A and B are shown apart, each in its own frame.
Chain A
Amino acid sequence: MSLFSDFIGFIFGITLFFLAGFLTLRALFGSKHPFSAFEIGVLSFALGIGILDFSMIFLGAQGVAITKATAILSLIGLPLSFLFIRHAHYRVCKKKSPVSPNDTGAALENASPFSSTKNEKIAFVVLISLTVLLRTLFLGDAGLPTATDLGHHMYWSKQIQESGEIPVYEKREIIGEDGKFFLSDPVPISDFIVGEHIPFAALAFFSSNFFFSSLPVTALYLINLLSLLAVFSLSVRLTAGILTKQSVSPFSVGLAVLFFLGPLFAFSSPESKFVSGGVVGNLFGNLFIPVILALLFRALREKEPRFLALGIFLSLTLAYTHHLSSLVLLFIFMGIFFSLLLLFPRDAVALGRRIGRLFLSPYPLFVLVCALLFFFFVAMPTYIETNAVTTAIGAPSKSTRTGLTFFQASDASGLARISLGLSALLLGFFVRKIRNSIGFSFILGWTGSLLAMTLAPHLLFLDIPSNRIGAYLAAPLALLSGALVALIPFFLKARPRKHPHSYIPGKIFLFALLIVFGFSAWNGSNDNQSSLPSTAKKAQMRETYDGAAYLASRLREDDIVLKDHNYLVGDSWIKLFFMRGYEYPLSRGFFKRYEDETKPREQCTLLMISTPNLRDGEKCFEDLGVNLVMVHPEYDASQFEKSSAFSRIYSGKSLHIYERK
């Protein structure tokens, strides 16, 4: 199939995700839904992912093959069923009473916080265009399918696509016993969760050359763009109840947030690197977390249980997609809970009753019951089955898990974002109208919990790489920074009332605004310039693929392949050519891992490439049956050339393949 037909297939697949979510929202809220177009777009996609994941897991557990047809049926059939049930319910209710069942009695906010002036619309268009342009520029080179993490994830997606089954996440490892080395029986892998792979497998059904193309990275890029719109929408909703049109419009706060999340740090930010690097789970987390928070915020504020039901459903989707994001979300919930208690101590009982009433409503209860049945009778997330939770809780076991310093955190999140964000948080405590809003509790809980997890994980008994947690700070800090910057014109217009001596002339504020804007733009764009990728190793990547394809077409049943991870470009994608198991080919990992005393590992993969002609290396070759080796000639050719035990069967500028005689 041609590039164009693959692209059209990809767009068709993406459209199905949006359609599934949109139909579900129609089924739940009817035609007069309380969302803006931005929220509809983001929510539809997230819901579509959830519907697909749970449908595929359920069908897989029942032994039904996962094919293009079942993917389409899941994405369209289930939402259409919801619509049919709603329609049938409406007809029954209409016969009994002329009042529409859509009306729960609660007054729902509509899309009016998203109303904007002409200048604001132009600003939005400019910001989003700049964001897309910068990301396209970055991904034009960095988006080549070479990233290690993406290669691992795409292996499992290809496995689903080819086998039609939900994969069993396991791998064989090299172990030594009684002086002999061999490959163990498969052991479970807790790092992969099926929700990260099903969407890509589904998209691969619509494009024949999905995996070795731009499409996996483009899918992640779309998720990243949607996460920006999610934070944008959340910021508008959170500030809608605090600001009035006379002061600053919520839409302009959203614009400021978009400025801090979009064009600034477009290249260096963790989110951009996650897109090119294929850190799938984190990107899903960055999308789902603000969407869930927006739904829960609206559920609490507008007392609407349908929002809560959607929030619970998407939380469960995240639980089946990424364990770290789920843990972060859990801590955010706890942070928000404590913030509400802190800021509304006298209303704690009333709030508790409101939350209880919401949870005990039909929609959330239905979702919770379905979730429990699914969890216990269909499938659990992999990390629950393998007890991986216990490895994340406890005292930090390595120096990289003891927390970041403030300056390390600002490296990850951007100095402009962290300084303005923390200033905004502090300022919020001093402005009564902001302090007394539920929106501020949400942002305080969100930011506070992440700061605690990043800077002092030992206080929360967390044993997780601190820089991974720090990456989640970007969204709330951008939200706070945007709110602070958007509020500056409000202070410019302020006039003295009771305290004339506290009035600061407008010119000074204007000067301050320019300083702030200049600092933010300099900090963000400076990072962009230093992060533009140097000349991509395109030829090396192509040689790796050509070599893997050469070997795959000539592989015998008993061949065992070993490759190097340190110098070969795109080496983790080699397994997609063989599809003989996650651990095939065997791999010489990063050198420092062989010296890690906290996690001792086998030495055979190191010895077989580094010293193939010495006794230890030869023993490993004999015991494990490795007979094919893929290495970079610039670093690893000489030791094989000296040995008479190897033929060189493939020779290129950046790849040699040796066969053991």
Chain B
Amino acid sequence: MNENKSVANPLSNHLRNSLRGLEPDTRMILFCIALFLASAWFLAWKIDRDLRFAGDQDSFTIAFESRDSRSLGFFIQNHAADQTFTYKIARDKKIERTDKKFVPQGARESIPLPPIETGGKVSIVVESEGGQRQEIYR
């Protein structure tokens, strides 16, 4: 049993003996390095998480897919918990079309639409279940 322990822990024994053989200030520096690595990894993980997901859980964005002034296709980028969106297409404030779109949290969904054929201001209003509203127009 004791033989098994010494065989099982040769690496930790070797590590312990190596550390004991070092100068005290070298051991303190190694401790500082280990502390910094742990801290840096925590910061990397936390800030990466914040960059991806954290923040206002009640927000979403919409934007036209194309810069073409006649194109109406748009996307919904959802960061909110609400996943069902209602969108309305209006021309000169007159609603021409209403529909719904399901967009999971963290996802982006495109809604293709036929291009503008005649003049006038065309606006797309998107509302979430929670009442948040965004509008784009051309």
A binding-site residues for B, Cβ under 8 Å: 3, 6-7, 10-11, 36-38, 40-41, 111, 114-116, 121, 124-125, 128-129, 132-133, 135-136, 139-140, 143-145, 212-215, 217-218, 221-222, 225, 229, 536-543, 545-547, 550, 554, 556, 644, 647-655, 657, 659, 661
Contact = CB atoms under 8 A, between A and B. Distances in A.
A496 B25 CA distance: 37
B29 interface: yes
B42 A213 contact: no
Contacts of A546: 61, 77
Contacts, number: 150
Contacts of B79: 539, 542
B61 A651 contact: yes
Contacts of A139: 43
Given A37-B29, A38-B25, A543-B61, 7 more contacts: A140-B46, A213-B48, A217-B43, A537-B55, A539-B56, A545-B51, A651-B62
Contacts of B35: 128-129, 132
Nearest to B47: A214
A539 B25 contact: no
11 contacts: A38-B29, A114-B25, A128-B31, A135-B39, A140-B42, A218-B43, A222-B36, A539-B56, A540-B55, A648-B135, A651-B135
> Which one of B44, B60, B121, B132 has the highest number of Cβ atoms from chain A below 10 Å of its Cβ?
B44
A3 B24 contact: no
A229 B60 CA distance: 46
A128 B61 CA distance: 44
Nearest to B61: A652
Contacts of A650: 61-64, 136
Contact of A213 (B36, B47, B61): B47
Given A38-B25, A144-B47, A652 B134 contact: yes
A543 B59 contact: yes
Contact of A659 (B23, B24, B67): B67
B54 interface: yes
A390 B67 CA distance: 48
Given A7-B44, A111-B25, A128-B35, A542 B51 contact: yes
Contacts of B67: 554, 556, 649, 659
B115 to A, nearest CB: 14
The 9 closest A-B pairs by CB, nearest first: A539-B55, A539-B56, A652-B61, A538-B55, A214-B47, A650-B63, A37-B25, A651-B134, A37-B29
User: Chain A binding site: helix, strand, loop or mixed by DSSP?
Assistant: helix
A136 B45 CA distance: 12
Contacts of A217: 43, 47
Interface string B86-108: 00000000000000000000000
B18 to A, nearest CB: 15
A128 B32 CA distance: 7
Nearest to B66: A554
B136 A648 contact: yes
Nearest to B67: A554
A116 B29 CA distance: 14
B14 to A, nearest CB: 21
